[in-house]
Amino acid sequence: MLSVIFVWIYMIVTTFFVGYGVLRFLTRHLAYPAENQNADHAGYSDCTAAGRLPADRYGADAYVMCGLVCVTVYAQFFSLFAGVGLWANVMLCAVCIVIFLRERQGILEMLKGRLPWGSNSAVVILLFLLFAYGTSRGIPHYDTALYHAQSIRWIEEYGVVKGLGNLHCRLAYNSSSFALSAFYSMAFLGGQSYHCAAGFLAFILAAGCLRLVDSIREKKLRASDFARVMCVYYVVNIFDEMISPASDYFMVLIAFYLVITWLSLAERGKKEIFPYALLCVLAVFLLTVKLSAALILLLTIYPACRLIKEKRWGQTGIYLGLGFVTALPFLIRNVWLSGWLVYPFTGIDLFGVNWKIPKGTADYDAREIQVWGRGYSDVTRYDVSPGEWLPDWFRGLTGSDKVFVMAAVLAAAVLVIWAGYCIWRRSCGRWVSDDAKTSGNYDDRVDTFPTLLLIQGTVALSFLFWLGTSPLMRYGSVYVYLTPAVVFGGMYATVMEAGQRMSIGGRRKAVNHCVCAAVCLLLAYKVFALGRGIVSSYENNYWILQKDYENFEVESCEVEGVTFYYPASGDQTGYDAFPSAPTKPQIAFLGEGLADGFRAVQ
């Protein structure tokens, strides 16, 4: 546990400085021109004159999340040239020192006299210790010993290797989260390889969900609060599994952060394009974590339409450049690892490299992913109709998952009717948020309808896409949980606001009390379940070092004079047996050693 705390402190410091530096740079170069300034930009000139920029207004989690994305992109770029270890960290630390020296006045002013999370800081510290405890031990994911650990070790030692997917096709599952895990693994220190990044992200989300407490006290729940409830539900569910560096956890947690932040901006009537555009860059990053998040890119419609409509071509180019830089190392790594631009999708065939994974192998792999998500292990059932596999799949779900899936289906159907009603109502008058009217920082003519409907539609379509392709719960649980939360939560908040305007306060107050009580009961139940789970599985161990990767009995063979390992039974090897694959390798070297890469044996 102590090792996790030290790694997390290092992660907080580095990601905060990098995030602060990047946001400060962007707010300098993406500020609205004078003729477009509005109430949302009031005081910008004063802030600049005082040595502070609007970046100083963001919460600690925004800086850390921005920094986390930047460090991940940096680690991927670094992996193109060398292993991600000591020198990658030294260079980043040097950048952090430069940022602090240049921006120390703003950083110190921001932190002066207040803790990063305000009055909730004591609770955040307790959460920090609790999640460090959970990340130090737990139940490793099956796939971690299958390929997660090996993928991370390859990045630690070699960076990216041509044709690595020919050794084991899953080593071509190029999630950017593996580069992040490798960067903060501290394997270069000579001890074990730590895997703390998923738990760190879970902690950041849990701390951000504390804002839910204020909404319950105010008896005013918004759509973002219902999303936070589901985020808490998910974080508690993975508490004993977040020790694993599984890309699914990173994807779900980042998706929760993106949706909650977007909803919060819309509910407050935020109309500046800047934060929405940056969230769209985060959506691009999410795609590099897990390809199943592809439809989240629909969110780019809102800032794109506004930028084009207002002819802000310079800003449009900058945002497109940010998205391109975010995706570029991921795409390059794809080609290096597999020969395909987006493995295992073979519809885009641009490169005739000799290390390319054979098309038949890639297609088989893609079909295996789909049938596995549908509850089958036989790839020949790929062409089974939805009418046959959907009932079997649904019967295989747990009771709670069945409820959430049915709620999500209902919410997606209701959203169509609700959107039609909102469009009709909007045609009769402006759709204005009460929060926007009463806030002194926002224009009282803010139209929140497009941003709210877009996030609801994006989440619902993502759920339907997941349901129709490969509906394994861990692949897309975020869409299952968020669809009813943002649709029904948004409807609830809108109806409550309408009730306030129509002066039906008595009934509105009663409904609010009931809903808040239900939310409190659900949260209390999950907290109780978490506590019971911690007590029942408690062992007096891992207080110093984190629980290491699992390792399994292996056998060895030689290929061109190099020793490779494979399982004595089953298909898991772990971290220590390196390099390894689930079966005897059928590869040929591209050069003289491991760093030169592999090609498939025809």
Q: Can you tell me the distance from the alpha carbon of 597 to that of 356, in angstroms, rounded to the nearest whole number?
A: 11
Q: Can you tell me the distance from the alpha carbon of 283 to that of 480, in angstroms, rounded to the nearest whole number?
A: 18
CB 266 within 8 A of CB 152: no
Q: What kind and span of H or E run contains 306?
A: helix 301-309
Provide the pairing of β-strand 562-567 with 554-559. Answer: antiparallel
- pLDDT tens digit string along 138-174? 999 999 999 999 999 999 999 999 999 999 999 999 9
Question: 560 CB contacts (<8 Å, ≥6 apart)?
Answer: 588, 589
- What's the pTM? 0.91
Q: Can you say whether the dihedral through the CA atoms of 225, 228, 230, 236 is positive or negative?
A: negative
Q: Can you tell me the distance from the alpha carbon of 63 to that of 21, in angstroms, rounded to the nearest whole number?
A: 9
Q: Can you tell me the distance from the alpha carbon of 451 to that of 301, in angstroms, rounded to the nearest whole number?
A: 10
- pLDDT tens digit string along 41-99? 333 333 433 334 444 456 778 899 999 999 999 999 999 999 999 999 999 999 999 99
Q: Can you tell me the distance from the alpha carbon of 464 to that of 487, in angstroms, rounded to the nearest whole number?
A: 14
Is residue 148 helix, strand or coil?
helix
Answer with the residue of higher pLDDT: 220 or 356. 356
Question: What per-residue confidence (pLDDT) applies to 9?
Answer: 97
To the nearest 5 percent, what fractions of the chain are helix, strand and coil? 70, 5, 30
Total length of the chain? 602
CA atoms within 13 A on the CB side of 538: 8
Mean local confidence (pLDDT), 384-388: 86
- As given in the structure block, the two tokens for residue 29 are 């170069």
Question: What per-residue confidence (pLDDT) applies to 512?
Answer: 77
